[in-house]
Amino acid sequence: MKCMQDSEKIEDANHSTDQQGNYHIPVLLQETIDGLAIKQDGIYVDCTFGGGGHSKEILKLLGESGRLIVFDQDEAARKNVPNDKRIIFVAQNFRHLQKFLRLHKFPQVDGILADLGVSSHQFDEAERGFSTRFDAALDMRMDNRQPVTAAIILNTYTEQQLHKIFEKYGEVTNSKTLAKTIAEQRTIAPFTTISLFKQSLQAIVKGNPNKYFAQVFQALRITVNDEMGALEEMLQQAVAALKPEGRLVVISFHSLEDRIAKNFFKHGAVAEPEADDVYGTRQESPLIIISKKPVTASAAELKINSRSRSAKMRIAQKK
């Protein structure tokens, strides 16, 4: 099978993933539940509650004494929390995982799930500024309490910083020209809206404009929300937050995220550890990898949810 580049798999901002008005269709649902190996009386964490699709399924398998702590940095997700005494909603970034688990008196849990990225709902809300389909302010914050918007990045990052983010997070083919054009255009007028931003780049768009802008927007979104930084911080806390034999399940949509998860599962650390004694022995990873290869969507799921195309799930268990 042809291996797709991120640029081909990119979440298509011109394609609404859900025609039925659902907040979000959960990806790899059964695979996630299997990966978490749910115990009836267990304590679980859904780091990315969103529409609550995965959480709903976890709750079905939990008994009376089971508990589910769910995080979402987007307050909009709160409305999806079911009226169920077993669930606790934490409207915070999952990079503060340990702090809030301790606060709620669950220092260790049986399983942690992270289904990364944005929800279909966030894409479909024009005023959030995530989608290239609408005109709105250049925002893209999942957490409206955070000060940094896409407009701030476009108007204040140096040309070199812009070049780097478009190359790294968007794989934009002409990222250098793009950064140069942005730096020039903003001296005429600062960037404020999506339509003005897109218009000012018309002359340098490469290939299919929808795909081009989807890549540019993806890079901005990842930067605005410091998605890689948050993932690394959460993973670094996850091992301590898991009980022995607790499960860690990460679903990613970008090759850099998947690489972070893969390396973390292998070494139990974000950076590859250095040899730590005279014999060059490395400290053993505190995790056992359950999924030797990333789990991807079945043909049946691909048919009903185009977003599942780029989903990669990795499962590990604490030793």
Q: Which of 42, 66, 111, 117 binds ligand SAM (CB under 6 A)?
A: 117
Binding of ligand SAM by 73 (CB under 6 A): yes
Binding of ligand SAM by 48 (CB under 6 A): yes
Provide the phi-psi class of 280: left if phi over 0, else alpha when psi is between -120 and 50, else beta.
Answer: left
CB 124 within 8 A of CB 107: no
Binding of ligand SAM by 77 (CB under 6 A): yes
Q: Among 120, 314, 147, which Cα is nearest to 231's?
A: 314
Q: How far is the CB of 260 from ligand SAM (least distance, A)?
A: 13
Query: Which residues, 6+ apart, have CB-to-CB distance to 270 below 8 Å?
Result: 232, 235, 236, 260, 263, 264
Alpha helices in the chain (DSSP H): 6-9, 29-36, 53-61, 97-103, 120-124, 150-156, 159-170, 175-188, 194-200, 209-224, 227-241, 255-267, 299-304
Q: How far is the CB of 119 from ligand SAM (least distance, A)?
A: 4
Binding of ligand SAM by 223 (CB under 6 A): no
- The interface region with ligand SAM, picked from 1-9, 46-54, 197-205, 264-272 by CB under 6 A, is 46-54
Judged on CB neighbours under 10 Å (0-12, 13-18, 19+), 56 is: middle
CB 138 within 8 A of CB 149: yes
Query: Which residues, 6+ apart, have CB-to-CB distance to 145 below 8 Å?
Result: none
Query: Which residues, 6+ apart, have CB-to-CB distance to 79 below 8 Å?
Result: none
Q: Which of 35, 42, 52, 66 binds ligand SAM (CB under 6 A)?
A: 52
Binding of ligand SAM by 170 (CB under 6 A): no
Site for ligand SAM in 226-265 (CB under 6 A): 230
Q: How far is the CB of 262 from ligand SAM (least distance, A)?
A: 19
- Residue whose CB is less far from ligand SAM, 74 or 178: 74
Binding of ligand SAM by 140 (CB under 6 A): no
The helix (run of H) or strand (run of E) holding residue 115 is: strand 109-115
Site for ligand SAM in 94-113 (CB under 6 A): 94-95
Binding of ligand SAM by 53 (CB under 6 A): yes
Binding of ligand SAM by 89 (CB under 6 A): no
Q: How far is the CB of 36 from ligand SAM (least distance, A)?
A: 12
Q: Which of 142, 219, 295, 316 binds ligand SAM (CB under 6 A)?
A: 142
Binding of ligand SAM by 72 (CB under 6 A): yes
- The interface region with ligand SAM, picked from 43-51, 133-141, 165-173, 267-275 by CB under 6 A, is 43-51
The helix (run of H) or strand (run of E) holding residue 247 is: strand 242-252
Binding of ligand SAM by 119 (CB under 6 A): yes
Binding of ligand SAM by 268 (CB under 6 A): no
Binding of ligand SAM by 129 (CB under 6 A): no
Between strands 312-318 and 287-289, the pairing is antiparallel
Provide the phi-psi class of 101: left if phi over 0, else alpha when psi is between -120 and 50, else beta.
Answer: alpha
Contacts to ligand SAM by CB under 6 A: 24, 26, 48, 50-54, 71-74, 77, 93-95, 115, 117-119, 142, 230
